[in-house]
Chain A
Amino acid sequence: MSSKPKIKELLAESACEHNKGKKGSCNAPTPGATTGGCALDGAQIALFPFADAAHLIHGPMSCVGGAWETRLTPTSWSGRDLTQTGFATDISNNDVIFSGEKKLAAAIDHIVTNYAPEAVFVYSTCVPAMTGDDIDAVCKQRSEKHGIPCVPVHAPGFVGAKNLGSRIAGEAVLKHLIGTKEPEETTPFDINLIGEHNNTGELWRYRHLLEELGIRVLSTFSGDGRIASIRTAHRAKLNVIVCAKSLVSMTRKMQEQYGIPWISCSFYGKTDTSKSILAIAEALGDADLIERTRALIAREEARLEEKLVPYREIFAGKKAVLNTGGNKAWSIASALQDLGIEVVATSVRKSTEADKAKAREYLGENAILMTSPATQQAKVIDDTGAHLLLAGGRSLYTAIKKRIAFTDVNQEKKKSYGGYDGLLVLAEDLKNSLQNPVFELVDRKAPWQK
């Protein structure tokens, strides 16, 4: 049987609120009016953080040329960091005409011989999907030959957008890796972190706190992840989804197959970090653990508050407009509120219904939920008298035009804002932005202009 996941099924995830009232999934992008990455992009983003696995793109250079070594997902893996190593079959004319299967097999051999990965993820792309290379067969045969998992990931770009690719990646891991190995030992407090990519080291801002409480991160999907541990993920007592709704299918299926319950968490800001750590302890259901967790939270919050004192004055009375994607609409808003900044507007363009409801809950009745931030944000800044715009790099020019401070909060930033300590980093960045004269100066008229 083919390992290709059923796309329709993935698009109509039953655990997603918004699919209850919908008849079918509407997924076709509009020609000439589409932005955003494809399924391959999403699958790569989901799996690349496994630094002990090779990521082989079976496709031409558009699919990988500018896209490798771009994810800032650090690893503590002691071997060569394969997240930052680009592998591509670089399909040529010949491969299109005569099939690229032999080349793919030889490429896997080359990788196994030279880089000794714990697994090889083989990503299908549009061209071999059209020409019909049997990637499943090649992977199966190479897995047997080399004795490591070669996992086919059927996310050619034309099947859909990034979010779908992320689900497909989850399916591939569920089918080919999870449950293929038993852990050496188990504890009553074993959890999996699902959708935590350790972007800019975010996982490392709170993982030590979990460990201090005796909560063991059995595996992560996929930040600072290990193939050996994800294979044992079926023995966890709890799945924790971190900021990634796209992987809800994966956790729902793990609940059905292995009886693992799941909760959803965010580790941005003080309030949410505390809530999340407590939620994990409560879900694990041990009275002593819950009590110790409350003590740890109290300690960490007090420590943080003391360090935030110098910032309080700077941020008093400051208003911010937030234009970022998905769950960040409320998770970063919450962090800003922790700093005493009023969030007067946030973008919900790419948010799910649940995220929108949450944004409303966090921001209150008067806040503006922008559905078309590109056209709205300039006016919103005027109307609200905001002092600060937090957005992706492209919105910088809006901030300059409006002469207000700007902070980049997209995934290409190099510093982590996660956990308690991340809030201090965010505070420092915001302080620097607010105090920087550049936003006032750069759009100023020259002395000879009227």
Chain B
Amino acid sequence: MAEVRHKSGKPLQVNPHKLSQPMGATLAFLGVDRCMPLMHGGQGCASFTKVMFTRHFCEPIALQTTAVNDVIAVLDGGDYSILESVKNIHDKVAPELIGVHTTGLTETKGDDLRGIASKIDVPLVYVNTPDYQGGLESGWALTTQALIDQLTEPCDRIDAQKIVLVPHVSLQPIEVEKLRDFIESFGFKVVAVPDLSSSLDNHLGEKQASLSSGGVTVAEVKQLADAAFVVTLGASVKPVGTTLQKKNPAIQHRHFDHVNGLQGTDALVAWLLETSGRGDRLPPVVERWRKRLQDAMLDSHFSIGQTRFLLVAEPDHLASMAASLREVGGKIALAISTVDSPILGDIEADQVIVGDLEDAEKMHDAYDLIIGNFHTEALAHRVAKKAVMRGFPNYEEVGIALKNDLLYEGGAYFLFEIANAAERMREEQVHHEREQIKLQRIA
């Protein structure tokens, strides 16, 4: 497999794409209905996060801060700032849940979150997410575990039809919805945790942003433990399976690293057919989309098969994109991950590194087309390549929440978009070459 470099080896990040653990926690709490994420840190920690997600999703973002200042940082053990915040939030917006997550600032001063939480009698979930550890994926996963650990009631019954779906952080809201509908078309009931598909899916609502405007309800999180299966999607959320099983050992855990491309989706479908007892009777629309993907693969393989890619993303997102592209012969020259992850070793690429966009810039001879967040656009300009936008953050495009890359359907659209981008890039190169030749002839 790939040559993997697990550590950056540099004393700094230059043009970073890594995002912080509390940011992942915020996003997870936004996937719970009528929740107020409360970031325990300086006001800037929450502000930077709020601005980023507001611009990325083009949606108002509910997020509050405990607004720790220099005096409080020294004198308070967290009690004052958290208790006061909870009181102020509760008086104003009465959320179903307050999601307290820490930052580097409050972890450095060492607040006892569990102790403080025990003094609070409004619904609250807490999670330790210092930003000098982990990243976006781990913040999301730890928060999902905390939600289940602290809210889900133990159970000894099983509802044979019920599946708990745990998506990784890089799935767009529409992808969660598509996946839920897909699984439900096999006769199951699906609860996604967290669920951004109804909160950050670019729908026109009241837009007050006083609380999250959709997502899994607190009541549903409490009732998770009667599910027959927990399906985790993405290596970063794999441990969540075990967390839920602690509430009911009869729950079966099925893990998928991704459900992208033909084989990735086939694996999910095979399992759904087997588990649902449908034999080989596919829902007709699923069968049709599989054929469309097969055709899309043939139509796009010529373009993608001659393209060398740079992928820049969170580890689970890298794995899913790489799988899709590899199926039609795309060469993953370089995959740059935000953080280390066991999944990196499974990515079919020439090189996989934990790094930044400075690393990408240095190795620009290795690739043609870039897939990554909006920062890769400036990179593409500098190294005379093209970039297709995927991942956090993307301030340059609209409609990101409705981008669907997974399953047969999204896989087909993904391949078309990439193949078309690669062709346009080559078209420009050819045009440029011809112009050069013309100029030479004239000279």
Contact = CB atoms under 8 A, between A and B. Distances in A.
Interface of A: 27-41, 56, 59-70, 84-93, 95-96, 102-104, 106-107, 109-111, 114, 126-127, 129-131, 156-161, 393-394, 397, 400, 412, 442-443
Contacts of A39: 44
Contacts of B45: 38, 62-63, 157
Nearest to B377: A69
A189 B443 CA distance: 49
Nearest to B50: A35
A62 B12 contact: no
A65 B378 contact: no
Contacts of B82: 31
Interface stretch (B65-73, B174-182, B234-242, B286-294): B65-73
Nearest to A92: B132
A29 B22 contact: no
Contacts of A157: 42-45, 105
A67 B11 contact: no
A200 B43 CA distance: 27
Interface residues of B, number: 71
Nearest to A105: B11
Contact of B88 (A33, A90, A103): A33
Contacts, number: 214
Contacts of A400: 204
B2 interface: no
A372 B19 CA distance: 33
A91 B20 CA distance: 11
A32 B51 contact: no
Contacts of A110: 10-12, 14
Given A62-B131, A130-B105, A85 B19 contact: no
Interface in B44-97: 44-52, 54-56, 58, 60, 64-73, 80-82, 84-89, 92
Contacts of B378: 69, 84
A36 B46 CA distance: 9
Given A38-B45, A159-B69, 6 more contacts: A62-B104, A66-B392, A114-B14, A126-B73, A126-B108, A158-B73
Contact of A65 (B48, B50, B58): B48
B114 interface: no
B43 A394 contact: no
B103 interface: yes
B381 to A, nearest CB: 11
A86 B16 contact: yes
Contacts of A394: 54, 60, 207, 209
Contact of B108 (A61, A65, A92, A96): A96
A268 to B, nearest CB: 24
Contacts of B131: 60-62
A9 B327 CA distance: 64
B105 A41 contact: no
B379 to A, nearest CB: 10
A33 B92 contact: yes
B12 A130 contact: no
B388 to A, nearest CB: 18
Interface in B293-313: none
B11 A32 contact: no
A61 B12 contact: no
A107 to B, nearest CB: 4
Contact of B49 (A28, A56, A66, A84): A66
B23 A62 contact: yes
Given A30-B88, A39-B44, A62 B11 contact: no
A62 B48 contact: yes
27 contacts: A31-B65, A31-B66, A32-B64, A32-B89, A34-B43, A34-B64, A39-B44, A41-B44, A60-B104, A60-B131, A62-B22, A65-B20, A65-B52, A66-B23, A67-B52, A85-B15, A88-B16, A90-B12, A91-B132, A96-B104, A110-B11, A110-B12, A111-B12, A126-B108, A127-B104, A127-B132, A394-B207
B312 to A, nearest CB: 14
Nearest to A159: B70
Contacts of A131: 108
A92 B133 contact: yes
A157 B16 CA distance: 20
B386 interface: no
Given A29-B43, A34-B67, A41-B44, A61 B20 contact: yes
A90 B72 CA distance: 24
Contacts of A36: 43, 47
Contacts of A443: 204
Contacts of B66: 31-32
B19 A38 contact: no
Given A87-B12, A106-B11, A65 B19 contact: yes
B34 interface: no
Ranked nearest first, the 6 interchain pairs of A and B with the lowest CB-CB distance are: A38-B44, A32-B85, A66-B52, A157-B44, A106-B11, A32-B88
B60 A126 contact: no
A61 B42 contact: no
Interface in B149-179: none
A156 B378 CA distance: 29
The CB with the most chain A CB atoms within 10 A, among B81, B87, B108, is that of: B108
Nearest to A90: B13
Contacts of B81: 31
B133 A37 contact: no
B91 to A, nearest CB: 9
Nearest to A126: B105
B393 interface: yes
Contact of B11 (A28, A103, A397): A103
Contacts of A92: 132-133
Interface string B2-39: 00000000111111101110110000000000000010
Contacts of B207: 394, 397
B421 to A, nearest CB: 21
Contacts of B109: 130
B11 A107 contact: yes
A61 B16 CA distance: 9
B229 to A, nearest CB: 35
